[in-house]
Each structure stands twice: as C-alpha cells, then as structure tokens.
Amino acid sequence: MRAKDAVGRYGEDVAERHLLAAGWRVLDRNWRCRDGELDLVGMDGDELVVVEVKTRRSAAYGSPAEAVTRLKLARVRRLAAQWLAAHDVRAASVRVDVIAVILPRSGAAVVDHLVGVV
C-alpha cells in the first residue's frame, strides 16, 4: 500500500470512529460502483448521510476540506443516488458531509466535521 493510500485509509478509520462516537450507524464504507466510490455512508438519526473524508498530514497547504470541490460534491451526490438505488434504505432525507482529518506528527488526529455541505 502506498503511503498516501495508508494516510487516507487511516483518516477514514478516524472518521468512522468519530461518527460512531456521535451515535451514528455506519451502513457502508468504501462503496464502489463503476462511476466511483463513496467513503462512508451512515445514518444520523433518520437522515442518510454520505460522507467524503479528506486526510492530510498537516494544514500547511490549507484544510483538507478545501480539496472537496463543487465538481467532487456533484459526483458524490450522483453516487449517493446510485447507492440509494442499490440499497433498501428508507431515510427522511439525504445530506452530504465532509470530514477533514489532519494527522499531526505527534498527538491525536484533528477532526473537522462539516455538516450539510451541499
């Protein structure tokens, strides 16, 4: 596994633990279809939430969340519709969140959870 992939995988682990600690139910992780991948899909109460996770080793070049462009969000929305079509899940509503994770050289990961970015 490349170092960049390992950082991303670890960031997704951190994000999933963050969501579980907040009382969410995680339904899927790294769901793939021919059009792309969703990092995390979960239920926040009765709301289905698709979560894009961005992880960096530092904020030297800005927040990891800044890497989530309008184009990327549009793709996540399309993939969310495909996920819903493939799964028998009833939700009151659907939203997209971004979790930005910074992994400092020492100490705990820093998690910034942006709710309803779309």
CATH number for the domain harbouring residue 73: 3.40.1350.10
Give the pLDDT of residue 5.
Answer: 80
Give the Cβ contact number of residue 72 at 10 Å. 14
Rounded Cα gap, residues 40 and 27, in angstroms: 8
- Read off the pTM: 0.94
For residues 40 and 15, the answer to whether their CB atoms sit within 8 Å is: yes
| Residues forming beta bridges with residue 112, ordered by sequence position | 100
The number of folded domains in the chain is 1
Q: How far is CA 23 from each of CA 46, 51, 89, 90, rounded to the nearest angstrom?
A: 12, 15, 18, 18
Write out pLDDT tens, residues 23-51.
999 999 999 999 999 999 999 999 999 99
Write out pLDDT tens, residues 47-101.
999 999 999 999 888 999 999 999 999 999 999 999 999 999 999 999 999 999 9
Give the pLDDT of residue 71.
Answer: 96
Full residue range of the structural domain in which residue 37 is found:
3-114
Give the pLDDT of residue 1.
Answer: 64
Indicate the pLDDT class of residue 6, thresholds 50, 70 and 90.
Answer: confident
Rounded Cα gap, residues 51 and 73, in angstroms: 10
User: Looking at the chain, which runs of residues are DSSP E strands?
Assistant: 25-33, 36-44, 47-56, 93-102, 110-114
